[in-house]
Structure 1
Amino acid sequence: MDRGGVRRRLALGLAVLTGSVTLALALPGAAQAAASTCSGREVRTLPFSTGSVHVYRQGGYLCAVTTPDHPGRKQAMSVTVQARGNRPVTDKGRYSYHAGPVTVHAGHRCVRVGGSVGSGSVRSGWILC
């Protein structure tokens, strides 16, 4: 390969690396935390006044994380997931960036999801049936 080809590949690699770093720095900490805690694809977001619950699915498993609108200071947070026919699984406490992840085996059953940050909360009905 000639020098021009090597330079073009190095320039492209540097551009991709720079873009990745810029994107990572631009994302808020809560979004980075939510993205790194659950595997699978995001199938639902439940926003509420003080945050949001992100729901992910991979195979027959469902994972949920609650993230605050203003991360960084400890505050009361919770996330709950319940597959129809089973008991709810909850993570609650005082967290800075997210509550959860909470993972349950849902198979093809409906689930209920809920979460809270401070005084705001959200509860879904039976979803993802």
Structure 2
Amino acid sequence: MDSGAIRRRLSLGAALLAASGLLAFAASGTAQAAPGSCAGHEVRSVPFGSGVTRVYKRGDYICAVTVARRPGTVRTMSVSVQARGSRPATDSGRYSRHAGPVTVHAGHRCVWIRGSIGAESVSTGWILC
């Protein structure tokens, strides 16, 4: 193999390595750009005084996140999703922007969504049956 062919192969390898690094960097930036988001499409948005609980569906999975209307102040927040016949999956703590996401496998069962920020809360009852 002559030196021109070796240089071309090294250049191609370096270009592929750089491209894969850029793709990894872009993918990690995309994941960080939307914290608290769920996979799937939004099927319900349940507003209450200090925030909104958003419900998403992807296949047999239901995901929920509670988002503050005015982010920045650290306060108690929670979100839970319960498929009928199962225990609820919950995320609660002191957050400044959102609680969740919380995902459960619901299949074709109804789900009960709860969200709260401070003293205000929302509860859907059995939905998506």
Instruction: Settle same-fold status: TM greater than 0.5.
Output: yes
Q: Structure 1: which amino acid aligns with 2:70?
A: H
| Equivalent residue number for residue 109 of structure 1 | 109
Aligned-residue offset at 1:72? 1.2
Cα deviation, 1:29-55, whole Å, max 9, x if unaligned, reads: xxx544xx2110000011001111000
Q: How many residues are treated as equivalent by the alignment?
A: 96
Counterpart of 2:42 in structure 1 is: 42
SS at match of 2:126: coil
Backbone CA RMSD of aligned residues: 0.9
| Deviation digits for residues 35-79 of structure 1 (CA, Å, limit 9, x no counterpart) | xx2110000011001111000000000000000111012110000
> In the aligned structure 1, how far is the partner of 2:54 from the partner of 2:35?
11
1:40–1:57 CA contact under 8 A, matched in 2: yes
One-letter amino acid of the structure 2 residue matched with residue 69 of structure 1: R
Could you tell me how far apart the structure 1 residues matched to 2:111 and 2:41 are?
Answer: 16
Cα distance in 2 for partners of 1:82, 1:61 equals 11
Secondary structure of the 2:53 match is strand
Verify the 8 A CA contact 1:33 1:97 in the aligned structure 2. no
SS at match of 2:62: strand
Instruction: Indicate yes or no: 2:36 matched with 1:55.
Output: no
Question: What one-letter code is carried by the residue in structure 1 that aligns with 2:59?
Answer: G
The whole-number CA distance in structure 2 between the counterparts of 1:120 and 1:52 is 11
Q: Percent identical across equivalent pairs?
A: 60
TM-score, normalising length: structure 2: 0.72
Note if contact 1:47-1:53 (Cα within 8 Å) is conserved in structure 2.
Answer: yes
| Structure 1: gaps of 5 or more residues | 1-31
Inter-partner Cα distance in structure 1 for 2:57 and 2:106: 9
Match runs of 1:1-129 below 5 Å: 32-34=34-36, 37-129=37-129
Aligned to 2:5: none
